[in-house]
Structure formats: structure tokens, C-alpha cells
Chain A
């Protein structure tokens, strides 16, 4: 058993391919048998991934889910930022550029609304829980944008470490929720075309959440949503410690 564990850990990336292959197989079988294909196989696979991440997290106490278990370090490589972005870029192959150009205006509009709405909703929730100073409100609002914008904004404004931790958690909740809720809400909000996918990416902003959520909904929409989402974090980091802080301070301060 020890020998086997060592062998699998030494070939981490290959074991990750085998493991994810099995998760996909089980997920697509479950999709066909239990839901007759109504819930997409990749949606089930993503849900299983999140459950495994939770189990890994409570077992090891680490921050990287299942990848903190030595046997599964290969998952960290396979699902890490480099290969993830590499595969996201690859999905652009075969994209219709006319679609992107046509959705350019609504895509830009969705980015602005996405960032502003997230900041204000987060700030209002923070206020209602007693975080009434503008710095804490802006930082938690930034976390409601993404879990990267949160700490960047909080550090720039000098927020306390517990407020920064809350902002990261808010961003994580958002990302996980987008992964789960996208396929469920897709029909209601009309998420069925490249242009709506671009609007969706701009409004939601979490690249990982949007990419996984769209993959579980309709894989053809992934490149369009991912493209706008990728600009969101930059915009959030730009306006968070500056414009959004000034506005929130003017209103609440």
C-alpha cells in the first residue's frame, strides 16, 4: 500500500488524469441514469469536485482542498492556474470573432455594472452586520467582487485582517455559487448565446466560477464568458481602492 501511494504520488499528474477521468465517467453515468441527461454530466462532475475539495479541506486543514493530500498533489498541477488558463485560451479556437465584436458594447457595460453592483451589495451587507466604517465596507464589497479584488483593496486601504479574511470568504462563496447556480439559472436569465455569455462573464466576474459554470451549462459558451470575466478582476482592483472607496465614504462616512 505504501509502495502504491509512493508510485502514485511520484506520478502525480498522471494519477490526476486517471482520477479526473474516473470522476468524469461516474458523473456522466449518473447524469444518464439518474437524471436522464437533464443535469449535465459536467455539472455533476464540478459538484463532485467541490465536495471533494470540502472533504480535503476538513481532513488536512489546508487551503487547496483535495490537492493538499499528498496523493492528490497532481490535481494541483492539472487544475492550477497555468494549465487552466492554457485550456481556457484553447477554447477560443473556433470562436466567431463577429460575435465578440457585436457583443462588445454590452460586454463593456456588463463589466461596469458587475463591479459596481457587487461592491454596493457587499458594502450594504457589511453595513447591516455592523461593519460601518468606509474602509471595512469597501473591503467586504471588494470581496463580493472577487476574492482577489478583496485583499488587494483591503491591503491598499489598510483594513484589518479579519475584514480582509471576510472579503476573501465572500469572494469564495461567490465563485462556488456561480459554479453551482449557472446551469440551474441559465434558462431563466436567457443564458443561451455568445452575447449573453459575454454579458454573464462581465457581470459575474469570477473567471473560475464563470468558466466552470458555463462548462456545466453549454461548453460552447465558455470562451465568450471567460473573455469578459478576465477583465473584471483588473477593473475591480483599479476602482476598488480609489473610486469605489471615495463613493462609499461619501455615502456612509
Chain B
């Protein structure tokens, strides 16, 4: 049933967000630390396990696939409620800080992607990656 897929997805998210809240409290941060990331990992493990044991039928998968496909329209709805006016009216400090940060971080993408890539081939790197 479709609802099985939706239920698995919703349960994964609640579990992940709860884990993020707990982690945030443990390290004393007033924020949810990686809740969405944990939820994604839970979903990956649960669906993988169910599929391998043959308990996730295509109709149930549809309940997850639907929300995955709704992602871009939801993001468009999200962009339509951004505080764009505040972003532009923050003055030159805010705009220059934002622009320079994005530029600097983008420039680092190829550099850091390369650092990790060289480690991939070595077994030690793979070991570190598993714990990192």
C-alpha cells in the first residue's frame, strides 16, 4: 500500500529529527544538528533492508517516490517565501560578506574534492572515511 511507503518516510524523518535534537542538546547547541541527514541515513538503511527481504512492494515504494518527485516544486514554493527584501536591504556589509563567502567557498570545491579523491585509493583512506 502507498501509505506504507509514506509511513516509512515519515517515521524516518521523525526519528532523524529527534536524533538531531538530542545531539544538539548533548553538545549544547540551540539547533537541530543534522536531523535531516540522520533521517536520510535511516531511510536508506530501512528501505534497503526491506527491499532485500522482499517486503517493500513497488506500490509502497511509490509512496516515497512521490514525495521525492515533489521535491523541486516544494523548493520553488520555498523560494517564493524567502526574505529577499531583507537580504537586499541589509546594506553593503551584508551583501559583500554574502557574495565573497559564496565565491570563496565555491573556489574551494575542486580543491577539497581532490583531497578526498586521492585518499580513496588507499585502504587507510577508506577506513578513515568510514569513521569520518
Contact = CB atoms under 8 A, between A and B. Distances in A.
Contacts of B33: 231, 233-235, 238
B34 to A, nearest CB: 4
B7 interface: no
Contacts of A174: 98, 101-102
A223 B30 CA distance: 25
A65 B82 contact: yes
- If over half of B's interface residues share one DSSP class (helix, strand or loop), that class is named, otherwise mixed; here it is helix
A109 interface: yes
Contacts of A247: none
The CB with the most chain A CB atoms within 10 A, among B71, B74, B81, B110, is that of: B81
Given A79-B78, A95-B44, A234-B24, A196 B113 contact: yes
Contacts, number: 347
B30 A152 contact: yes
Interface residues of A, number: 116
Contacts of A179: 79
A93 B96 contact: no
Interface in B63-92: 64-68, 70-92
Contacts of B75: 42, 46, 79, 84, 87, 208, 211-212, 215
A9 interface: no
A122 interface: yes
A190 to B, nearest CB: 5
A175 B71 contact: no
Interface in A226-240: 226-228, 230-231, 233-235, 237-238
Interface of B: 9-10, 12-13, 16-17, 20, 23-24, 27-37, 39-41, 43-44, 47-48, 61, 64-68, 70-102, 104-110, 112-113, 115-117, 119-120, 125-126, 128-132
23 contacts: A49-B76, A50-B80, A54-B84, A66-B80, A67-B80, A84-B74, A85-B17, A90-B68, A93-B43, A101-B126, A102-B126, A105-B129, A118-B104, A170-B95, A170-B97, A170-B101, A174-B98, A190-B110, A203-B108, A227-B37, A227-B40, A230-B35, A230-B36
